Structure 1
Amino acid sequence: MIEALAGPEAGGVEDLTASDLLALARDQRIAEDMAAAQLLVTAARWADLHPPESIHSAAAFTVPGSEHEEPIAGEGAPLVAEFCLAELGGVLGTSTTAAKKLVGHALELRHRLPRLWALVLAGRVPAWRARLVAERTIHATPALTPEAAGFVDAQVAAVAGKVGPAQLDRLVAEAIKRFDLAEADPAADPEDGYLSVDPRHVTIHDEDVHFAGTMRLEAELDIADAVDLDRALAHGAAMLKALGSDAPLGARRSAALGDLARTQTALDLHASGQGSPRDADGLPVAREVVLHAHFDAGFAGEATVFGPTGRMEERRRLVLLDEVKDWCADSRTKVTIKPVIDLNAQLHTDAYEVPDRIREQVVLRDRTCVFPWCTRPARGCDVDHVIEHDHDAAAEGRPQPGPTATWNLACLCRFHHRLKTHTAWTYRMTEPGVFEWTSPHGHRYRRDQTGSSPVDPAEPPDPPGIPRPRRPRGPRRR
């Protein structure tokens, strides 16, 4: 669309006056809001096509791990057959979790927040604002009844959805109080509904990592705890300055908070002489935190040379070698260096169970679940046989079609492992670490270490190398 507008036929936006540009921007924003609203309608209709009855009519018997009904919105909204969400996520280019949230918001709005839903369809409330309300009413604690959700709906619709997070929390708290949803608490003030929702939290925003290797932390503390923490950070910053640090005050307070995370939590145990093991200086060891950092290594003569940048497995983020050196400089940090694993080697075993050495190789190769757009870390996934392992092959004297070998193994989170086992989704490994998936509706997706992308239907399929997996024949392990 941008290229078309800039083309000679359209004259390009360069030829528009200031007033025309403002009008164009307004029209584009209106079109964007309308498209987002229609996507919610489509998501709700997709749920309508996949009710729980579609599971029971398609399955002659219940198999452990097979599809079940999914409550993805609040009480009073319809249930959905869970596996349909993966197909929707695929065509939208999002994870199954994001598709589940989209459908959940659509059902919550249509069935429990009908006034707000009508405003969205009329273009008076943008879809993103309505989805914020739906997210809050779906996950309220305790859960909102349809009547309580209706109360929130009426209040929000009266102001055309223009409520901030704090106002929304107060509305939900008032609904909980008004409809007697919270369990009785003798210590609670019955006149204060807002305080029945505890606002305290500590959130580390790990989705936005600064190029300098920092993360943002946000917290809501008890007043006494906040004052104590402020004093501790001020003392820690002063100590660092006295020890020669020339960093600005904010950086020293940040470093002091990191010191608290490593040592402060165990001071009571140290005073009592119980609990955790001691260092040589008698202080308790810091709480153990395991991070997996991967660096490419080479050789210069007999010396091992590491690349300047690597990958942190837990957050799937870039990590600098200098950062790791700084961590290791702390005498209370334990560092373990594991042997180099060749990701291109073809390992195999005659057994069905995947040994640790092969599992580690597959985890490092795949990094995440290999289903399109899934970001679950591979270390917490199942290792799946791409081509089904035949447990009767050896006993019947037949060659094993699905061996436990590097070329036939992939990391799948438990949900997508179940999806592959019990539905018509299929996939194959076209080259090491590269997978092509085909959905029940015939959509094809490619997943490699750079991410996921749809496969152009006009493109010819990859040359056959690894045969496609066979359809599952029942509740066998895979």
Structure 2
Amino acid sequence: MIETLARPGTEVDDDLTASGLLALARDRKAAEDRAAADLLDLAARWADLHPPESIHHAATFTSGRGIGMEVEAPIAGDGCPTVAEFCVAELGTVLGISIVSAKRLIGHALELRHRLPRLWTQVQSGGVAPWRARMVAEATIHATPSLTPEAAGWVDAQVAAVAGRIGPVQLDRLVAESIKRFELAPADPAADPDDGYLSVDPRHVTVHDQDVHYAGTMHLEADLDIADALDVDRVLTHGAELRKALGSTESLDVRRAQALGDLARTQTALDLHTRGHTQGRAGASGQDGLPVAREVVLHAHFEAVSVAEQMVFGPAGRLEERQRLVLLDQVQSWCGDSRTKVTIKPVIDLNAHLEAPGYEIPDRIREQIILRDRTCVFPWCTRPARGCDVDHVIEYDHDAEADGRPQPGPTQTDNLGALCRFHHRLKTHTAWHYDVIGPGEFEWTSPHGHRYRRDPTGTTALDPPPEPSRRPQIPRQRRP
């Protein structure tokens, strides 16, 4: 009996023994690693074909690590070729991944080929799993301070010597040792000269906003200075005890989590501490005499549904921030927990046809497009629409009225779409273009002719993958 798996053309004998199944699983994993190594090679070749040009800047990562400003960081380390920023979009859409993921893939490929050549050779020969090599590339690209080619080469030699079998902690130590050996960090007279690991600061606070629990919670992790960590622990313990004294019946863990939220809002803890005590405090701006807490604006959307249509854990809606599930009970608790200002906006008909004279987009039309599109409408982009530009799909002609011609790109609902700034620039300066095919539905065409449908449910690739007459020949080893 032959059982056909989900992937066409893959057949597995249903009568395989346990040994046979294990052997087949091993072969499939080897094929997966081979495909991942080939993909790295193809990403590096794609970069070779697309150096930056006059209008196409080099692709970078943008982060908020600067003081009061965003910082542009290259996608690979010093010594790697730069890549035209707009070419990343085509590769990313073909692979069905975001721009950030596509940049990371290309950056890892270039880092391995140019700065970690030993590891690159091992990956292409099958000696090291691509995911392990990419972990090393990520560390050497984003090391602080930045690694020189020589420092990266030293890390490459150490990792290649053990065939990539290295964990995150050992990798951090290697990077730190490399920084120390090549004297990349500024001298610190208070530092222990024998402690290379501490030359890299491991402190961080990370909010895992891509993994939201159905109950509306989000995971946060941090590494703090010991004194800071103990101070935070004391504050959370005090906040949890205070909540219990005020009548909370929640568990200790829940009360500590709530206390952390109070700490983030800065003044809510003061609200709890003085509730029922001092009122009319001098300098306070609230009606109860308390300082006004810092404002946090959230946009929650709920639809009127019957009881039968409600989710098993209660009525749920959508939080614009991060496009996440939010429970109605949770919103009610937010509103009742502190002095919260709640604004109910008028219902906007997302199917209504709105239009305005001229180029400028009125607030009522902008809000309709934001609510309709939810995110940037470029394939697989997830940037919230509220932070996007509202783009005229067919370009507005500023000279049409003066020339007595009809306006080809009017300011109206069916000619507008939300585009993040990067994809707005991509559409303006390259051969990418899109058409409106329905309310909130768009069809994109790439410079190489690939087509994608983007609607409120997500992105669909319309073109099947090209079928070459023969399997592409990917070299198993490539010297940098």
* Partner residue, 2:49: 49
Q: Find the partner of 1:386 among 365, 390, 393.
A: 393
Q: Contact 2:268–2:338 (CA<8 Å) still a contact in 1?
A: no
Counterparts of 1:325-340 in structure 2 under 5 Å? 325-340=332-347
Q: Normalising by structure 2, report the TM-score.
A: 0.85
**Of the candidates 372, 395, 405, which is equivalent to residue 398 of structure 1?**
405
Q: Does 1:283 align with 2:272?
A: no
1:156 paired to 2:159: yes
Alignment partner, residue 466 of structure 1: none
The residue type paired with residue 33 of structure 2 is D
Cα distance in 2 for residues equivalent to 1:248 and 1:156: 46
- Is structure 2 residue 186 aligned with structure 1 residue 183? yes
1:367 counterpart = 2:371: no
Correspondence for 1:69: 58
Match of 1:136 in 2: 139
Change beyond 3 A, Cα 1:15–1:370: same
CA contact (8 A) 1:6 1:12 kept: no
Q: SS where residue 135 of structure 1 aligns?
A: helix
The one-letter code sitting in structure 1 at the alignment partner of 2:39 is L
Using a 3 Å threshold, how does the CA distance of structure 1 residues 260 and 406 change in structure 2: closer, same or farther? same
CA contact (8 A) 2:450 2:463 kept: no
1:250 lines up with 2:253 in the alignment: yes
Q: What does residue range 4-403 of structure 1 map to in structure 2 within 5 Å?
A: 4-5=4-5, 12-52=12-52, 55=53, 66-70=55-59, 71-263=74-266, 278-297=285-304, 308-403=315-410
Instruction: Identify the range of structure 1 (158-167 vs 207-216) with the bigger mean alpha-carbon deviation.
Output: 158-167
The answer as to whether partners of 1:13 and 1:21 remain within 8 angstroms in 2 is no
Q: What residue number does 2:66 align with?
A: none
Q: Could you tell me the TM-score, scaled by structure 1's length?
A: 0.85
The answer to whether the 8 A contact 2:51-2:84 is kept is yes
Q: Distance in 1 between matches of 2:416 and 2:188?
A: 53
Superposition CA RMSD, Å: 2.7
Does residue 426 in structure 1 map to residue 433 in structure 2?
A: yes
Give distance in 2, aligned partners of 1:215 and 1:357. Answer: 33
Cα–Cα, structure 1 residues 232 and 18, in superposed 2: closer, same or farther, change >3 Å? same
* Structure 2 CA distance for aligned equivalents of residues 276 and 166 of structure 1: 50
SS state at 1:151 partner: helix
Match among 386, 407, 419 for residue 414 of structure 2: 407
Partner of 1:315, secondary structure, is helix
For residues 3 and 198 of structure 1, what CA distance do their matches in structure 2 show? 53
* Whole-angstrom CA distance in 2 between matches of 1:95 and 1:275: 52
Task: State the AA in 1 paired with 2:122.
Answer: L
Q: What is the aligned-residue identity percentage?
A: 73
| Contact residue 119 and residue 156 of structure 2 kept, 8 A | yes
- What SS does the corresponding residue of 1:383 show, helix, strand or coil? strand
Structure 1: where are the runs of 5+ without partners? 57-65, 300-306, 459-478
**By how many angstroms is 1:276 displaced?**
8.8
How far apart, CA to CA, are the structure 1 residues paired with 2:26 and 2:285? 65
1:338-388, Cα deviation, whole Å (9 max, x unpaired): 111111111111110111111111111111111101111111111111001
> d(CA) in 1 for partners of 2:13 and 2:436?
45
Mapped to 1, the partners of 2:290 and 2:224 lie a distance apart of 28
Distance in 1, matches of 2:281 and 2:46, equals 58
Cα distance per residue 1:310-338 (max 9 Å; x no partner): 11001101111111111111232221111
1:6 touches 1:13 (CA, 8 Å); kept in 2?
no
1:226 counterpart SS class: helix
Q: Find the aligned partners of 2:234 and 2:88 in 1 and give their Cα distance.
A: 49
